[in-house]
Every structure is written in structure tokens, then in C-alpha cells.
Structure 1
Amino acid sequence: MKKKVAFYTLGCKLNFSETSTIARDFTKEGFERVEFSEPADMYVINTCSVTENADKKFKTIVKQAQKVNPEAFVVAVGCYAQLKPEELAAVNGVDLVLGATEKFKITDYINDLTKNDFGEVHSCEIQEADFYVGSYAIGDRTRAFLKVQDGCDYKCTYCTIPLARGISRSDSVANVLKNAAEISAKGIKEIVLTGVNIGDYGKGEFGNKKHEHTFYDLVQALDTVEGIHRLRISSIEPNLLKNETIDFVANSNSFVPHFHIPLQSGSDTLLKLMKRRYLTNLYVDRIAKIKATMPNACIGVDVIVGFPGETEELFLETYNFLVGLDISYLHVFTYSERENTEAALMKNVVPKNVRHKRSKMLRGLSVKKRRAFYENQIGQEVTVLFEGENKEGYIHGFTENYVKVKAPWNPELVNTLRAVTLTEIDEDGLVRFNFKENKITA
């Protein structure tokens, strides 16, 4: 009988793409992939260490696996596994911990699946993570996450990602196009480009600082891939989102009018403390440029609240800055101290109850921003890509500019692109629509 393996992914789209690639390696080795809730011989947990919650959740996930099969072999990989390998190895039930370079050779480390008394660690020094492994996530999704870049050369004072993933390095354009063609051949309609710092695309392997290609070169090349109807840029730094890329997306065959641009703070004082590579005036300029070329573009924003030194006055500066920006939604992160970062040693620490209060205020603002954006889209003729899950009798989908829509469940709509007119916002905040007669895009 085939050995069974199950996977659980914490964190970002990049982690999902890497989990999928690791899972395909297991399939090639003769394993059968099953759901994490099912009995398996081995459970692989891809960890995240961006926030304290992601750290804590790991132990819960290990317990879930042990509950289903107490004799299963449990492996931890990912960012937390690179940063705190010994800590993870000490968690009851964990048998193997693999660092940043080892996770892509996971099957090499499995001689048998006998439980260990103590977790075994194979973790490199992060300086050794100087090669690139391409990956993409597919499955029951109507979209795929395609990794194009890894690592980061930035030194933001709150962030452990450079310690967990190493230097900035990129896939070749040829390999990205090969992976995109493979995704297209599987009938997937949308690709989301992912990485740690994708705007820095083009740096080669082994720490080569020279850009062989630019992110703009990559965008142009991907626009020619046949069979992919939508290409979506995930998160891109404002200082690396150039006018040429914005102009190209506005006139592209496949790229959609949706950007996610980290801000982190609307206060120049805090941006400097964070060692971000821009100030608020550049951010305002990027939003204005996008809206001038794509008035209906959706723009998402990352914000951190409760960073050391964030007084009430500086928080309100961020809040008011966001109120005045023509953006569509926020991803709000409550600052949590990370070991081995500059920010963890900073003074003027914001009390946790204040951090949570500010986070709640910004989440409320996000709801208002999304509602206003959706209201502005009513009456628009758009295209919806429908997803594959029946959620309480409804099917959901997204327009090209990331408006989430709903309709009564119809399996014939799954993974199809349909032309619709947006009509009204339902009580749950999602948008209803009417189909355009005889218009089936794909």
C-alpha cells in the first residue's frame, strides 16, 4: 500500500506555492496525498513566523495531526523552522525539522517513518540559502500561485524574513514561463505572482546583485503566455512599482487592475524607524498614478499598528492618511516583537491593549473602504472567475478588479469566466450581479 502524506500551510501565498511543489515531489516518490484531517503516515507543516499567532498555531496543528494518528511522522519546514529549529524540535510529537534549503529535499531525509524520541534538526546557516527553487500551487483552486522570487535584501527593523529566507534571488524568465505554461495546460484561468519582494525580481542566484532582467521584463514576457486569462500581481513595494509597469498593466492582455502595496505606516517618522525605503509622498504618488490610468483598479494596503514609538498622534496620522487615500481595503497587522530584529530592542513600546484597540479601528476603516469601493462598482460590466466551492448554497467569484460576488450554487459555473453587470451589495457585503446574455468568456 502507498504511504499517505498530508500537508498544512501557515502564512503567505509563497508558502502555499512551496507546499504544492513539495507535495508533488512526494507524489513522484510514490506517496498518496490526503487531506490533513485524514489519517496519514506523515504530516508536513509549512510554518510561518511573521507574527506571534503563527508561532503559537504550530503547536495546535501538531496536536491535530497526533489526534488523527498518534504514530504519524511529523515534519516542520518553513520560516519558523529556519529561525527556531530547536524550539520546534522540542514540541511534543515533532520528528523532523528542516530549514530553508533542506525543505526542498525533504524526501532525502526520510529513511523510515519511525517516530523519534526527539525532533531531528537539519538546518543551514541562512547565508547558505543562495540558490533558487521555483514552485507553484495548484489543486482545487481556480487560480495558481506562481513563485518568481525569494528572499529579501531589505533591512526593515520589524522583519525576520531575510533571516528566514536569505538574500533576494529570482527564477529565470524562461523557467517562470515554463511553469506558467504548465499551469495553463491544467486549465487554470488565473495566476497570482508571488515572492518575498517581487518588485526586486531579476537578481540571479548566489547573491548576484546584478539584475539579469527587471520585474517589467517579466511582466511583459508573462503577458504572452497562451491560455492564461488573468495575471495578478500580489504584494509589491511602492518604491519598486514603476510607472512603466503600471502603464503596461493598464493596457495588458492578461494583467488585471489589482495591486497590493504595503504601506506599514502613514507617518514618515515611523517609516524612518521601520527603515522602509520610501516616505508617504511617494506612496501618494503611486496611488494617484494607478487611479489615473485605471480608475476602477482595486488597491489593497498592508499596515502595521502598535510599532514602538507609535504615539496616539502618530497613529492618528496613519489613520487620517488612509482615510484620504483612494484605496479599496486594508490588511492590518498588530505589531508583535520578533527576536533578532532592531525593533524588538526599541524603546517606547506600545501596550498590547492599545495595539489591539488601534487594530480594531483600522479594521473598521477597511470595512468602510471596501464597501465604498464596491458601491462605486455597481453598474459596471465586468468579468467574473467563479470558484469551485459550494458555500452554504452559494458560489463565489472575483471580478478582475477583485470585487467578490455571489450567486446561487451552480456547478456549471465552476472555473468559468462570465461577463456580468454588478447590481447590488447583499447584506453580507458581497455583490450580486446579472449575467450578460450570450457572453461566456471562457
Structure 2
Amino acid sequence: MSKKLFIETLGCAMNSRDSEHMIAQLREKEGYETTQTLEEADLILINTCSVRERPVHKLFSELGGFNKKKKPSAKIGVCGCTASHLGEEIIKRAPYVNFVLGARNVSKISEVLHKDKAVEIDINYDESEFAFDDFRSSAYKAFINISIGCDKKCTFCIVPKTRGDEISIPDDLIINEAKRAVGKGAKELFLLGQNVNNYGRRFSSDKHEKVNFTELLRRLSKIEGLERIRFTSPHPFHMDDEFIEEFAHNPKICKSMHMPLQSGSTKVLKEMKRGYTKEWFLNRVAKLRSVCPEVSISTDIIVAFPGESDADFAETIDVMKQVKFDQIFSFKYSPRPETEAQHFTNVVDEEVASDRLSYLQSLHNEIMDEKNATLMGNVYRVYFEDLHRDGYVAGRSDNNLVLKVKGSEELLGEFRDVKVTAIGRTILTGEVVA
């Protein structure tokens, strides 16, 4: 009988891809098969996030629950970004944990599995050319890392301390991985990196051709059988005209752009060390919409960053009203260890922070209700990838609208034209028309 692996993934899409890599290695090298039942697992992994404070707190409560439910012989491993920055402290606080594996050390999963109390958290370890075995949680969409690490110095962000310096994965490895995925049925690629449009800045050696992100998109789009390309997250600072023009005119690139704003105040952006101004961000939005009117734009926003005044917050609201984002991921500022902003003393009052977040989110809901009201009766080309238990199948349009229709697994992996028949804030209901 095969050994059983239970894995819980917290955080971003890059964490999800790291989990797929670990599943692949453990399946091929160690004979594990995944299970959704923790009690029957021989190995329990939790792949952690440390971007905000709450997931870190959740880690230790989750670990306690795992330890109570697991069978006596099962091992527990903590992986990911929190593993990178807490390291041995995890085992000190939870001595039943068998090993700790940092976000930059995913390829060492088989190694640490056999070393009790192993702690591998080297953020300078180079995995950019490691040949992972192949595993994907979806047969219809392939997540592909194009870089690891981050070179930005944003004062609020812990990622450079958990994932190390940015290194681009050679384009031939990316293209070969994409071809394998398409050959197995995936029609959509999702490219992952902390700043995808900074791709090509640094490779692990000088032998690799210097290819930038725009050229990588061109090369990937030539793969026969590939229908769609998505990516996250581009950095507003690197959104040059060449990149925007390729995005707009390459028919395989989905017309959905995630542009992390963080703040609409140029003063706050400078304190965050984001590298751009409010004016530059709005300029890039204007350029994008001028060449690609159908584009949907999503963003990240942090409210109550240290020193954010009422006037600064008003600047963020001004950007919200001008851009009318199609989706926002919004949070109150959360101080993170090993970041510059952790030591800022001009902290915004918690009640003020909560009020600002509430106002921002209610404004976004108003904007979404106004925009969604115009969608009734529209027809979109949808790629179906999710089977729901209620007799519906869901997928996404080119510009990232989520639509569901009555149907079965026969629709999975297929494109259909869908007419919108009912409006919801996060998901639309429709009927297949072609």
C-alpha cells in the first residue's frame, strides 16, 4: 500500500505551485499518494504564508490540531515562508514537528523527510534550474514559476527575507514545462513570480540568453495547442509601453491585469519604497485602457500604513473612483518582522484603520454593483475548469469574469460562449449559447 500525504496550503498561487512541486517529488521519489483525510496520513505538510500576521498565528493553532488528530506514526513538516523566517523556533514552540523547510528549499523535501528535526531555510539556495517531477492539481490549467525571490525593498514586505533575491528561471525550461503541460491537456498557462515583468533581470549563470518578460510572452504564445496565458503579479514600475502593447495585441494573453497599487498617495508610496507615484500608476492605467478597452484591472491596497493621514487615504479613494477596479484585495497594514516599516512609530489608530478599510470596501462594492449591472445579457467566451456540487460548472472569461452554467464534467476543459442571465458580485450565472 502507498503511503499517504496530507497537505494544507496557505497564501498565494506561488505557494500552491510549491505544494504541487512537493507532491510531485514525494510521489515519484518516496511513493506517497495524496489524501484529504488527515487521520489516515503518514505525512502531514502545512505550506505557510507570512505576508500578513494572521496566517502566522493560524499556523500554531493548526499544528496543535494536526498533532491531536494524526496517527502516532505520522510525521509533520512545516514549509513555506513562515518556515523561512521562524526556522528552529517552530520546533521549539511545537516540538512534535519533524522538520522545517523554507520557501527557497522546496527541492529538498525528500532530504528533510529522512532527517528528524531538520531545518532547511537557506534563502540564497538556487532552485532556478532544478528539474521538478511533474504534478498539477488541475488538468486544465498549468501554474508555472518563471522566477523565484524578489529584489524589491518594499518597507512593508517580508517576502525578500523568506524567498531571497530574485532569479529568473531560464526561458527554455519554462517553455519545455509549458509544452509538457499543454501536451497533457492544459489550454491555459498561469505564469507566477513576485514581479513577473521584471523577468530576465538576473539568471543563475551568464550562459542563459537575456530574455525579458515581453519576449517570454511572445515565445510562449507560439506553443501549438495553448489557448490562453495569464500571469501575476506585474509591478507597476516595470509596465513599459512595449509590455502593455504586447498585452493588448497578443490574442493568447488574457485581458486581465493585476496592478498592485498599495496606496494612492505618492507620499505613502515613497514611504513604502514602491518606486512609482500616483501619477505614474494612473498613466499606466490610461495607457492600458487606451490600447485595450476591454481589460479588467484588479489591485492590492493596504490601508493605514504608518503615517497615512486622512489626506493620504483620500488620495487612495481618488484612485479607486478614477480607475474603478474590477477586483480589489484590501487589508489593514500588518507589521511584519524583518521589515523596515516594523520600526515606524507613526502608527495609525486601530479604529481609524478599521473605518478606512470598511469605507474602501463599501466603495468597491458600490463600484462593482454599478459595473455588474451592465453585464446582463452579455456573451463571453468561457473556459470551464471547476465542477461544482450543485450541478453547475464554472470557468472564466478572457477578462477574468467567473461564470457558472448548469452542466456536467463534459464541459471541463472546453470553451463555450455563455450569455449572462443572473448577476452576483463574485460570480455570474449564465447559459451556454454556442
Counterpart of 2:352 in structure 1: which amino acid? V
Q: What is the match of residue 96 of structure 1? A: 99
Cα distance 1:407–1:434, how it changes in 2: closer, same or farther (>3 A)?
closer
Q: Secondary structure at the match of 2:46?
A: strand
**Contact kept? 1:167, 1:207, Cα under 8 Å:** no
Q: Which runs of 5+ in 1 are unaligned?
A: none
Query: CA RMSD for the aligned pairs?
Result: 2.4
Question: 1:302, CA displacement in angstroms?
Answer: 0.7
Q: What is the match of residue 306 of structure 1? A: 304
Question: 1:396, CA displacement in angstroms?
Answer: 2.0
Question: 1:293, CA displacement in angstroms?
Answer: 1.6
Q: Deviations over 1:387-426 (max 9, x none)?
A: 3322433322211111111222433222211012334415
Aligned 1:403-422 pairs, distance under 5 A? 403-422=401-420
Q: What is the match of residue 106 of structure 1? A: 109
Aligned partners of 1:296 and 1:258: how far apart in 2? 9
Residue 84 (str. 1) matches residue 86 (str. 2): yes
Aligned partners of 1:57 and 1:419: how far apart in 2? 41
Aligned partners of 2:367 and 2:305: how far apart in 1? 23
**Contact kept? 1:385, 1:415, Cα under 8 Å:** yes
Counterpart of 1:404 in structure 2: which amino acid? V
Counterpart of 2:113 in structure 1: which amino acid? I
Q: Deviations over 1:234-269 (max 9, x none)?
A: 211111122222222222231110000111000011
Cα distance 1:244–1:375, how it changes in 2: closer, same or farther (>3 A)?
farther
Q: What is the match of residue 146 of structure 1? A: 144
Q: What is the match of residue 44 of structure 2? A: 43
**Contact kept? 2:423, 2:429, Cα under 8 Å:** yes
Q: Deviations over 1:175-199 (max 9, x none)?
A: 1111111111221222111111111
TM-score (norm 1): 0.90
Residue 346 (str. 1) matches residue 344 (str. 2): yes
Query: Match for 2:196 among 198, 203, 207?
Result: 198
Cα distance 1:51–1:316, how it changes in 2: closer, same or farther (>3 A)?
same
Cα distance 1:38–1:252, how it changes in 2: closer, same or farther (>3 A)?
farther
Counterpart of 2:98 in structure 1: which amino acid? D
Aligned partners of 1:211 and 1:342: how far apart in 2? 35
Aligned partners of 1:206 and 1:286: how far apart in 2? 31
Counterpart of 1:110 in structure 2: which amino acid? L
**Contact kept? 2:24, 2:135, Cα under 8 Å:** no
Aligned 1:386-397 pairs, distance under 5 A? 386-397=384-395
Cα distance 1:289–1:201, how it changes in 2: closer, same or farther (>3 A)?
same
**Contact kept? 1:378, 1:424, Cα under 8 Å:** yes
Worse-superposed segment, 392-401 or 167-176: 392-401
**Contact kept? 1:6, 1:40, Cα under 8 Å:** yes
Cα distance 1:358–1:15, how it changes in 2: closer, same or farther (>3 A)?
same
**Contact kept? 2:194, 2:232, Cα under 8 Å:** no
Cα distance 1:313–1:248, how it changes in 2: closer, same or farther (>3 A)?
same
Aligned partners of 1:205 and 1:408: how far apart in 2? 47
**Contact kept? 1:263, 1:283, Cα under 8 Å:** yes
Q: Secondary structure at the match of 2:226?
A: coil
Q: Deviations over 1:17-68 (max 9, x none)?
A: 1110111011112222222545211111111110001101212332343243
Q: May I ask how many residue pairs the two structures share in their alignment? A: 430
Question: 1:294, CA displacement in angstroms?
Answer: 1.7
Counterpart of 2:409 in structure 1: which amino acid? P
Q: Secondary structure at the match of 2:23?
A: helix
> Percent of aligned positions with the same letter in both sequences?
30
Worse-superposed segment, 78-87 or 299-308: 78-87
Q: Deviations over 1:147-206 (max 9, x none)?
A: 101111111111111111111111111111111111112212221111111111013434
Q: Secondary structure at the match of 1:233?
A: strand
Question: 1:213, CA displacement in angstroms?
Answer: 1.0
Counterpart of 1:146 in structure 2: which amino acid? I
**Contact kept? 1:388, 1:415, Cα under 8 Å:** no
Aligned 1:308-327 pairs, distance under 5 A? 308-327=306-325
Question: 1:316, CA displacement in angstroms?
Answer: 2.0
Cα distance 1:207–1:155, how it changes in 2: closer, same or farther (>3 A)?
farther
Q: Deviations over 1:298-325 (max 9, x none)?
A: 1001111111001222112211221121
Query: Match for 1:284 among 278, 282, 307?
Result: 282
**Contact kept? 1:168, 1:207, Cα under 8 Å:** no
**Contact kept? 2:168, 2:204, Cα under 8 Å:** no
**Contact kept? 2:40, 2:71, Cα under 8 Å:** no
Q: Secondary structure at the match of 1:218?
A: helix
Worse-superposed segment, 377-386 or 298-307: 377-386
Cα distance 1:223–1:342, how it changes in 2: closer, same or farther (>3 A)?
same
**Contact kept? 2:418, 2:431, Cα under 8 Å:** yes
**Contact kept? 1:151, 1:197, Cα under 8 Å:** no
Cα distance 1:411–1:99, how it changes in 2: closer, same or farther (>3 A)?
closer
Counterpart of 2:44 in structure 1: which amino acid? Y
**Contact kept? 2:245, 2:291, Cα under 8 Å:** yes
**Contact kept? 1:383, 1:419, Cα under 8 Å:** yes
Residue 435 (str. 1) matches residue 426 (str. 2): no
**Contact kept? 2:199, 2:212, Cα under 8 Å:** yes
Residue 212 (str. 1) matches residue 214 (str. 2): no
Counterpart of 1:430 in structure 2: which amino acid? I
**Contact kept? 1:267, 1:318, Cα under 8 Å:** yes
Aligned 1:239-318 pairs, distance under 5 A? 239-318=237-316
Q: Secondary structure at the match of 2:50?
A: coil
Q: What is the match of residue 32 of structure 2? A: 31
Aligned partners of 2:395 and 2:369: how far apart in 1? 17
**Contact kept? 2:383, 2:397, Cα under 8 Å:** yes
**Contact kept? 2:105, 2:125, Cα under 8 Å:** no
Aligned partners of 1:157 and 1:290: how far apart in 2? 28
Cα distance 1:196–1:133, how it changes in 2: closer, same or farther (>3 A)?
farther
Q: Which runs of 5+ in 2 are unaligned?
A: none
Question: 1:12, CA displacement in angstroms?
Answer: 0.6
